[in-house]
Amino acid sequence: MNRIWAILFCILIVLSLPGCKKQAVVLDTIEGGMKTYVKMSDGTWKCDGHTYGYRLEISGKMPNAVKDSTFVYLSNIRNISFAQAYKAAGVSSNSEDYFSPEEAVLVEIR
């Protein structure tokens, strides 16, 4: 009976060990103008303690603008339209136009 308990204990210990998954490391630190962010070795991006799956460069012309603008967002949303990007950058007075920190963060405006 003691042998069965020993085997079960060993199995429990093996199952509780962390996996062999490698930890992501910082590949590059970028001074974005608005925020500093990092590119990770697993393809993600980090800023202000949040992890994002995408880095989006969204370009277009704002109403009455002379030239195009580019907004760089780190995002967990795959696609952000130019209208969403510039409104969330501070143009809109409607709080529903802004992203939560878990959704996206603006790091650069060009």
Tens of pLDDT along the chain (110 residues) come to 667 766 656 565 555 556 556 788 999 999 999 999 999 999 999 999 999 999 999 999 998 899 999 999 999 999 999 999 999 999 999 999 999 999 999 999 99
DSSP 45: E
78 vs 25, 37, 53, 55, 64, CA distance in Å?
A: 23, 18, 8, 9, 28
Q: How many domains does the chain have?
A: 1
Annotate 89-103 with b (16+ C-beta within 10 A) or e (fewer). Answer: beeeeeeeeebeeee
**Residue 12 domain-assigned (yes or no):** no
Q: Supply the range of the domain harboring residue 42.
A: 21-109
23: left (phi over 0), alpha (psi -120 to 50) or beta: beta
**Residue 4 domain-assigned (yes or no):** no
State residue 100's pLDDT score: 97
**Residue 67 domain-assigned (yes or no):** yes
Measured distance CA(49)–CA(47) in Å, rounded: 6
**Residue 34 domain-assigned (yes or no):** yes
Measured distance CA(83)–CA(61) in Å, rounded: 9
State residue 31's pLDDT score: 96
**Residue 65 domain-assigned (yes or no):** yes
